[in-house]
Amino acid sequence: MYRYDGHIPPSHPSPYVNCDSFYPSQMGAEASQQMEESYIENILRLNIGKVVTIYLTYENNREWNAKVVTGTLRAAGRDYLLLRDRETNKDYLFRMINVDYFVFDDIAFTPPEQG
């Protein structure tokens, strides 16, 4: 019986990719913060409490393939958002994977400086 010890023989190419060229190891805190601001969940967090219209798509759903909801943004994470529907006053937890786009009347966002 063969036991795998984690060593890759030199005749086989390594399955691991060196990511040092993609992600600088010594990034300053300011640059890191600017990059972080561009993630959608961080932009949404800047707009908690604001009214937003969310356009969602649910593939292979015969009852409602597309849905549009307007409400107050209550919370946002990497894979979810919590919205209070203006018409029903109910809170809804949506998965980000179903979101097509957002429409804000007055969005709070400052694009990071390119440099």
Q: Which domains does the chain have, with CATH numbers?
A: 48-104 (2.30.30.100)
The better pLDDT of the pair 90, 113 is held by: 90
The better pLDDT of the pair 22, 83 is held by: 83
Prediction pTM value: 0.62
The tokens of 5 are what?
A: 């010890």
pLDDT digits (tens, 9 = 90+) for 13-48: 545 444 444 444 444 555 555 444 468 999 999 999
User: 97 CB contacts (<8 Å, ≥6 apart)?
Assistant: 79
Say whether pLDDT at 62 is over 70.
yes
E strand spans, 1-115: 51-57, 66-76, 80-85, 91-95, 99-104
Specify the pLDDT at position 22: 43
Average pLDDT over residues 61-78: 93
Say whether pLDDT at 65 is over 50.
yes
Would you list the DSSP string of 43-64?
A: HHHHTTTSEEEEEEE-TT-SS-
User: 80 CB contacts (<8 Å, ≥6 apart)?
Assistant: 93, 94, 95, 96
User: 78 CB contacts (<8 Å, ≥6 apart)?
Assistant: 39, 41, 96
Q: How far is 112 from 33, CA to CA, in rounded Å? A: 9
Say whether pLDDT at 104 is over 80.
yes
